[in-house]
A and B are shown apart, each in its own frame.
Chain A
Amino acid sequence: MFRFFLRRVALTLPTFVALMFVTFVAVRLVPGDPIEARTGERGIAPERLAQLRHELGLDQPVWRQFLDYANGIVHGDFGVSIVTKTPVLQEFAVLFPATLELAFCALIFAVVLGIPAGVLAAVKRGSVFDHAVMTVALTGYSMPIFWWGLLLIMFMSEYLGLTPVSGRMDLINYYFEPVTGFMLIDSILSGQEGAFGAAAAHLVLPSIVLGTIPLAVIARMTRSSMLEVLGEDYVRTARAKGLSPLRVVGLHALRNALIPVVTVIGLQTGTLLAGAVLTETIFAWPGVGKWLIESIARRDYPALQGGIMLISGIVIVVNLIVDLTYVAINPRIRHGG
């Protein structure tokens, strides 16, 4: 078991090296010169140019530059933003809690609605409810979430006036220093009346938008996994023993049906982080997704490079953890491969 885990972990190392290589090469292929990006287009004295090139390590051979880059990453140095002159890792650390909070709430929304909907659809297979769930799931799965966000803003915020249009917090009425970086927690810690409500109100629409595709995936997966389990012998035995339907479904079937669902939930990390780029752009949510898009607009390539490296690194690590957990709870996989 331990050796298997080690092997799995070791297998992700080449992926990390390749990821470093790709971000390194990509940023060197980008049109435009990093020196020019810093000095403007007026041009500078040749001695100053040579000095700058030396400072940035651009006078080194390319393989040397890559080793320096990789070495930096291993030691937590993801470069320095051209625009703000702060280390990329530092910027990322400030913005990431906002994305994490949003992604977490989106996932809660998807799980809390998706699993019961999937279970009920499977139990009442072929009913109107089943068809409704499957239709909603198909629509959710096919949804251009950037449009879905605009529609919700149009209806909930502009027309009904229920939720704020954008941002994380009502900054005119409330102000407090970030402690954890999570607005829901910080607003409680601040002790200001109504702050938590304001923070929660800002989270509602973005969470729904970001949670829509995971919701569809989870509902579909729960339904099909549940249908499979309900056909198993042990479920029939439980029924034959005279257990109440609620006990059969809730206790015997659901527990086994949820194993693949939990895996699918874990694998939504990539979907959530990719979706965060769109959701944060629509709702002006100050997270890493919006920051990534702004880095492109500002031609801040170190930020883009470091940001992609960090986001992908997180996805790789989370997927690895999901993989290992799945193996730990389901020994059949281990022996298969």
Chain B
Amino acid sequence: MADDQALALSPAVPPVEGVPAEASPLRAFWSAFSENRGAVLGLAVVVFIALLALFAPFVAPHSPIEQFRQHVQQPPVWAGGTWAFPFGTDAVGRDVLSRLIYGARISLGIGLSVMLVSVVVGIVLGLASAFLRGIVEVVVMRVMDLVVAIPSLVLAILVVAVLGPSLLNTIVAVTVVYLPRYVRLVRAAALAELSKEYVIAAQVAGVGRLRLMFVTVLPNCLAPLIVQAALGISDAILEAAALGFLGLGAQPPTPEWGAMLADSREFIRAAPWIVTLPGLAILVTVVAINLMGDGLRDALDPKLRRS
């Protein structure tokens, strides 16, 4: 299928007989990516969690917010519980498994939203400061320096204190915190490309500035950006969970993993599974995304390959 796409995309190039067809970029990428067993494992786990999140209403045995008052703090099935609540119930009788599954929606949703907004804004600000230079560059880069100077969680707390705690504001706060990485990366990549000959050739040929920015230069800056975006999802998930844990993120009864941990703190002794499981969900998700991101970096960006 990858071959068909590659052919469909390049109809202008006639097949030359006797020359072996070059492997499609997608296939070349996959062969480099799948060399790394950890990355493939990470990808598999991420796909599994994403599917759970996507089909949460069909997979989850119960509603995430329904309170089964006669089954409060029931232990999980391996600790003497019943199959009706495989991972047990929390302090008000909600099914922990269902809350974890719905929580995947929220955590992945936050991670993806932060990543998408950061990538778009990062591209616009990064390209603008690389192309326009002058005052635009100075202002943008100084603001990014300031954001970097404030410890991440402290800045996120400041943003949430101003906007008020909610899921949407969590996304805003975490995006603000991680934006500088994207802006700096796009700017640096674009500056490196700008001195290359193909850009000068395009300029000489009279290509307009916007086209030069987004069509000529941007595609050549994408590899490190994709790697940063993948790793950025896991950072965003961790940061959002920390805000949720501090009570500054998603508000009850939203089944957000960090907030679930915060609710569970007083039951450390009585119901350890309520404490253990949400944290494990965060850890597994973040490790899987980081494994995948490392694989992406090795496959897409050989310069950054870890020795």
User: Footprint of B on A, CB under 8 Å?
Assistant: 14-15, 18-19, 22-23, 26, 29-31, 138-139, 141-144, 146-148, 150-151, 153-154, 158, 224, 227-228, 270-271, 273-275, 277-278, 281, 292-293, 296-297, 301, 304, 308, 311-312, 315-316, 319
Query: Per-residue CB proximity of B73-87 to A under 8 Å, as 1/0?
Result: 000000000000000
Once the chains bind, are A312 and B246 in contact (CB under 8 Å)?
Answer: no
Partner of A316, one of B149, B154, B234, B269: B149
A148 to B158 CA separation, bound complex (whole angstroms):
25
Once the chains bind, are A227 and B307 in contact (CB under 8 Å)?
Answer: yes
Once the chains bind, are A26 and B162 in contact (CB under 8 Å)?
Answer: yes
Query: Per-residue CB proximity of B264-291 to A under 8 Å, as 1/0?
Result: 1100110010011011001100110011
Partner of A292, one of B145, B157, B282, B287: B157
Known interface pairs A146-B258, A297-B247; 14 further A-B residue pairs with C-beta atoms within 8 A, sorted by A's residue number:
A15-B142, A18-B142, A26-B162, A138-B291, A150-B265, A150-B268, A154-B272, A270-B151, A273-B154, A304-B161, A311-B151, A312-B151, A312-B154, A316-B149
A278 to B243 CA separation, bound complex (whole angstroms):
9
Once the chains bind, are A142 and B238 in contact (CB under 8 Å)?
Answer: yes
- Chain A residue with minimal CB distance to B142? A14
Interface centre among A148, A275, A308 (most CB of B within 10 A): A308
Interface centre among B153, B245, B258, B283 (most CB of A within 10 A): B153
Chain B residues with CB under 8 Å of A274's CB are 151-154
- Give B130-181 interface residues, CB cut-off 8 Å to A: 142-143, 145-146, 149-154, 157-159, 161-162, 164
Chain B residues with CB under 8 Å of A147's CB are 261, 275, 278-279, 282-283
B186 at the interface (CB under 8 A from A): no
Chain A residues with CB under 8 Å of B307's CB are 224, 227-228
Once the chains bind, are B161 and A296 in contact (CB under 8 Å)?
Answer: yes
How many chain B residues touch A (CB < 8 A): the figure is 43
Once the chains bind, are B149 and A277 in contact (CB under 8 Å)?
Answer: no
In the complex with contacts A15-B145, A31-B164, A144-B282, A158-B268 CB distance below 8 A:
yes
Once the chains bind, are A138 and B290 in contact (CB under 8 Å)?
Answer: yes
B248 at the interface (CB under 8 A from A): yes
Once the chains bind, are B290 and A142 in contact (CB under 8 Å)?
Answer: yes
Chain A residues with CB under 8 Å of B152's CB are 270, 274
Q: List 10 A-B contacts (CB under 8 A).
A: A15-B146, A18-B143, A19-B150, A147-B261, A150-B265, A153-B268, A277-B153, A277-B246, A312-B151, A319-B149
- Chain B residue with minimal CB distance to A22? B146
Chain A residues with CB under 8 Å of B142's CB are 14-15, 18
Once the chains bind, are A312 and B261 in contact (CB under 8 Å)?
Answer: no
Once the chains bind, are B283 and A19 in contact (CB under 8 Å)?
Answer: no
Once the chains bind, are B246 and A293 in contact (CB under 8 Å)?
Answer: yes
In the complex with contacts A158-B268, A319-B149, A26-B287 CB distance below 8 A:
no
In the complex with contacts A22-B146, A142-B234, A315-B286 CB distance below 8 A:
no
B49 at the interface (CB under 8 A from A): no
Distance between B169 CB and nearest chain A CB, rounded to angstroms: 12
- Chain B residue with minimal CB distance to A295? B161
Query: Per-residue CB proximity of B6-47 to A under 8 Å, as 1/0?
Result: 000000000000000000000000000000000000000000
Once the chains bind, are A154 and B275 in contact (CB under 8 Å)?
Answer: yes
